[in-house]
Amino acid sequence: MVEGSGHWDAALFRREGHRMVEWIAEYLDGGNRDHPVLSRVKPGEVSGILPRLMPDTAEDPEIVWQDFLEIILPGVTHWNHPGFMAYFGITGSGPGVLGEMLSAALDVNGMLWRTCPSATELELTVLDWMRRGLELPEDFFGFLTDTASISSLLALAAAREKADPEIRHGGMTGRDIDPFRIYASDQAHSSIAKACLTLGFGLDGFRAVPHDADYRMDPEALAHMVAADRAAGFRPLAVVATVGTTSTTSVDPVATIAELCAAEGLWFHVDAAYAGSAAFCPESRWCLDGCERADSFVFNPHKWLFTPIDASALYTRHPEIFKRAFSLVPEYLTTPVSGQVVDLMDYGVQLGRRFRALKLWWVLRCFGLEGVRERIRRHIAMAHTIADWIEASPDFERLAPTPFSVVCFRARPRGLEGEELDRFNMDLLEHVNASGEIFLSHTRLDDGISLRVAIGNLATVESDVERCRELLTEGLACLSDR
Ligand code: PLP
C-alpha cells in the first residue's frame, strides 16, 4: 500500500509541499532558464508517453513528481520565462503563485456572498483598489472573470439586454427583431467576433471598422458604417474600442468613439486587456482618456499585472443590467441575505467561482502601486531599447508605433518583397525560436508579416533583450547566406 493512498496526512503534505515549493522557488529564480522557452516536443509526444488508463491504486508521489519532471516539463512552453517575448509577455509572480496555492487549499466556491463572504468582499475591494489606481470613475462596479474573452462576452450580453429586454424571455429567433450590429476595429481581438458568434449576432453582426496609418480605429469610418447600417435596417448595438490592440498595441481614439456612442445611443465597451495595466503609471494614463464614459471596461491582471492566469477585471457602470441579463436564482441558491448582499453568480454565466481575488490581493499588496509602476516602466524601457535599435539598423524596419512594451518590426534584406519577404521573416522567427532562449511571435500588418517582441515577464532583464537582438542579427546573417 502506498503511503497516504491519495488522502495525504499533514506529514506527507508537508514533505511533498516542501519539495514543490523548493522547486518553484528555484524555477522562478532562474531555473526556468534551464528549459527551452518554446517546448520542442512533437505533436502527440507527451500523450504518447502517458499511460492510456488512470492508475487503479494510489501511486507514490515520488514517482508522480519524477514523471512531472521527465514527461510533462519537456512539453511545457515556458510563459513564466525571461525569454518569453511572444504574444504578450506575462508573469506568475511569487505572491501570485502562493495566493493561488492558498485559494486551492481553501477551495471555496464564491458563488454567493454566504458561501464565502471574504471571496465576494475581497473581490469587490481589490477591484475597487485597481479602479482607483487606474483613475476610473467611482460608479464603476468591478468583478473578476477568467479571461477578457468572457468579460467582453458578458459586456455585450448586457448591451443586448439593455437594448431589448424581451430577449431574456423570448430569445432572438422567431420574432421580428432587426439584426444587431457590433462595431470594433479590424485590429480588435478575435474574442469580440467570437462574442458575436456566441450571442446570436452571427459573424455578419460583427462589423470591422478600418484602421488609420497607426492601426487605430478610424472614427469617421465608424460613423459612416453605423449610419449606413441603420439606413439598411440593421440595429447598431455596441462599439468596442481597444486600448492596446493585440497585434500592435495601438490605442483607438476612445474619447471620439465615446462621443459617437453617446450620440447614437450605443453601448460603449473598452477592451484594455493588455495595456490597461500601463495606466497605473501616470505618464501612460493617457491611454485611458475617454474610458470614463464607457459602459463597460475590461483589463487583465493576468496579462501585465504579474498575476498567474487567469484573472480578468470587468467593470461596468450598469451592474443592474448585468444582473437583469444573467440573474436566475433557484430555490436552493436562496439565502437569508438574498437581495441584501452582492451574490457574484448574478453577474455572469458561471455559478461556481473560484477565489481569484486572493492571488490578486497578494500581488497588489506585495508589489504596491509603486512596485507595479516600476516594473511596467522597466518593460516599456526595454521595448524601447529594441525599438531604437531597429530604427537605427539598416537591416530591420519598425512597422508600427511602440506605445507600450511591444515592438512590431521585420527584417528588410535588400531585393526581397511581398511573399518572399514574408517567408524570410517567418524563417527568421523560426531561427530565433529554435534557440530555446527567446520565443517571439508574429502577426500580419498592412505591409505584410511582422515579427513582435513583447516584454512582460518580471525576470526579463536587459541582457535578454540584448540576446534577442543578437539572435535576430545572427539569424539575418545566416539566412542571407543561404
Ligand atoms: N483582448 C485583447 C486586446 C487581447 O490582446 C487579448 C489576448 O491577447 C484578449 C482580448 C483575449 O484575452 P483572454 O485570453 O483573456 O481572453
Ligand 1 pocket member 273 (CB < 6 A): yes
Average of per-residue pLDDT across 389-398: 97
Q: Calculate mean pLDDT across residues 177-183.
A: 95
**Mean local confidence (pLDDT), 196-213:** 97
pLDDT of residue 183: 98
Mutation test residue for ligand 1: of 154, 246, 297, 312, the one with most atoms within 8 Å of CB? 246
Kindly give the distance from the C-alpha atom of residue 292 to the centroid of ligand 1, in angstroms, as a whole number. 21
**CB burial of residue 330 (10 Å; 0-12, 13-18, 19+):** exposed
Q: Is the shortest distance between the CB of 91 and ligand 1 below 6 Å?
A: no
Fold topology of 109-354: Aspartate Aminotransferase; domain 2 (3.40.640)
Other CB atoms within 10 A of residue 479 CB: 17
Question: What average pLDDT does this structure show over 153-173?
Answer: 95
Could you read off the pLDDT of 27-53 as tens digits, one per residue? 999 999 999 999 999 999 999 999 999
Residue 271, ligand 1, Cβ within 6 A: yes
Instruction: Report how far ligand 1's centroid is from the alpha carbon of 154 (Å).
Output: 14
| pLDDT confidence of residue 176 | 85
pLDDT at 191 over 60: yes
Q: How much is the pTM?
A: 0.97
**Dist CA 383 CA 216 (whole Å):** 20
Amino acid identity, position 449: I
Residue type, 416: L
Q: What percent of the chain has pLDDT over 70?
A: 99
Calculate the average pLDDT of the chain.
Answer: 97
- Sign of the Cα pseudo-torsion (64, 68, 69, 74, in order): positive
For ligand 1, whether the C-beta of 100 sits within 6 Å is no
The three grid cell numbers given for residue 165, joined into one nine-digit string: 429586454
How far apart (Å, rounded) are the C-alpha atoms in residues 440 and 23? 26
Q: Under a CB-based contact definition with an 8 Å cutoff, are residues 210 and 218 in contact?
A: yes
Q: Is it the case that residue 309 has pLDDT exceeding 70?
A: yes
HEC string of 326-376 equals HCCCCHHHCCCCCCCCCCHHHHCCCCCCCCHHHHHHHHHHHHHHHHHHHHH
**pLDDT score of 3:** 62
Nearest-CA residue for atom 14 of ligand 1: 147
Q: At what angle are helices 462-480 and 418-434 packed, to 10 degrees?
A: 130
Using the mean position of ligand 1's atoms as its centre, give its distance from the Cα of residue 13 in Å: 36
- All cell numbers assigned to 52: 492510456
| Position 247, amino acid | S
Domain boundaries, the chain: 109-354
Band the pLDDT of 83: cuts 50, 70, 90: very high
Nearest atom (ligand 1) to Cα of 242: 3
Nearest atom (ligand 1) to Cα of 88: 8
Categorise residue 368: left if φ over 0, alpha if ψ from -120 to 50, beta otherwise. left
Q: How confident is the model at residue 347 (pLDDT cuts 50, 70, 90)?
A: very high
DSSP state of 423: H
Amino acid at 86: A
pLDDT of 2 reads 61
Residue that the C-alpha cell 450590429 belongs to: 181
